[in-house]
Structure 1
Amino acid sequence: MNLLGLALRARKLLVGENLVLPACHKHPGNVVFLASDAGENITKKITNKATSFGLTIVQSVDSDALSQALGKEHVKVVLITDKGFSNTCKDYLM
């Protein structure tokens, strides 16, 4: 989770449905963090979009953990836009 804060400071992170959905096609193969307690509609939208563009979806964290890691409130979805950060996240998760 510390890596998310670092990526945010490096401006390699998109936070929120309105930013993540249109950017999915620009970052194939990267990582999307989707809160496990996100609503049904946002979960369906993000899952469909991420699957079609080959993004890795991580749903093992809840909204509180994402919010705390980023220092923001009510974070439901995050897209890492940098390949290096994405690969490091995948290494930690696998």
Structure 2
Amino acid sequence: MNEKKWMSLLGLAYRARKVISGEELVVKEIRANRAKLVLLSKDASANTEKKITDKCHFYGVPLRKVENRSILGEAIGKEARVVVSIQDEGFAQKLNSLLD
């Protein structure tokens, strides 16, 4: 998996204001059908993981796991982030393919 590529794309999406981070905000975006893709760090708490996974399944939002919270935060130029959602279909599809 080419880490640099998806991280810089996520950074680009963030600068384009197409990324929402933080558990509560992401859940809100999923509920509102605005989230096109959700990225969850593998070191999320069991509680957070279950909540996000259940929401994504229920609303049919693709969910991908990334290595850890520092990578996710670094990609968007912030401190550690456990979960982010991508609000743009184009960015979401490209990120999804880069994460394969």
TM-score between both structures, scaled by the size of structure 1:
0.91
For structure 1, the 5+ residue unaligned runs are none
Report 1:71-82 matches (<5 A): 71-82=77-88
**What amino acid is the match of 1:24?**
I
| Secondary structure, aligned partner of 1:59 | strand
1:3 alignment counterpart: 9
For structure 2, the 5+ residue unaligned runs are 1-6
Q: Does 1:13 align with 2:19?
A: yes
* Per-residue deviation, 1:19: 0.7
Cα contact 2:71–2:80 (8 A) shared by 1: no
Of 31, 34, 37, 1:27 maps to 34
**What amino acid is the match of 2:55?**
K
Please tell me the root mean square deviation across aligned C-alpha atoms, in Å.
1.2
| Secondary structure, aligned partner of 1:33 | strand
Cα contact 2:66–2:72 (8 A) shared by 1: no
Q: Does 1:49 align with 2:55?
A: yes
The percentage of aligned residue pairs carrying the same residue is 40
**What amino acid is the match of 1:27?**
R
